[in-house]
Copies of this chain bind each other. A is one copy, B any other.
Amino acid sequence: MSEIFKNHIEKFTEINDEEFSEILAFFQTQQVRKKENLLVEGNVCKYHYFVLRGCLRKFFVNEKGLEQTTEFAIENWWITDNIAYERRLPTAFYIQAVENSEILRIDSYSQEKLLIKFPKMERYFRFIYQRAYAASQMRVKYLYELSKEAFFHHLNEKYPEFVQRIPQYLIASFLGFTPEYLSEIRKKSRS
């Protein structure tokens, strides 16, 4: 299963088997069941997660007490509350498994040691953050530009398999409307 991580690193930098097994020693593998929380609001955000299999989501609980999902992470994605992780602070977010998942996790001290021991991992993480930042910038643009309904259609066109895979109430929680409203939009777009 950890081969998935090796393949992902190799997209950005070369590593041999020996290096990879040393790199992997900085991580723990974790099995997590659907709906299990990896991170809870108010707790210190200790870990950075890489998804080997399954799906995680990040959300916060808004003023109305509703879960507002801000991110999903499927295979080959990293997820954490980055500010809280880097500074080892309590988080305002939850991270929860959407499906039974297998993940790698690393704490920020170990990540720093890993980067010092394997400077080529700086290149790997530079790409990870660069692409995540670029995606987040587009997300900000869409939040300004598109209505919630238009954003749903955009998702549906660009990532149909993702929209199929994620339970509808979580797609609704990501878009910021009720599952009932999402269901209406879907009916409208089919007719």
Contacts and interface: CB of A to CB of B under 8 A. Distances in A.
A135 B82 CA distance: 9
A144 interface: yes
Contacts of A92: 141
Interface in A11-54: none
A63 B122 CA distance: 40
Contacts of A132: 129, 133
Interface string A118-148: 0110110110011111111111110111000
Contacts of A134: 82-83, 86
Contacts of A141: 60, 70, 92
A82 B131 CA distance: 8
Interface of A: 60, 62-63, 68, 70-71, 81-83, 86, 92, 115, 119-120, 122-123, 125-126, 129-141, 143-145, 176
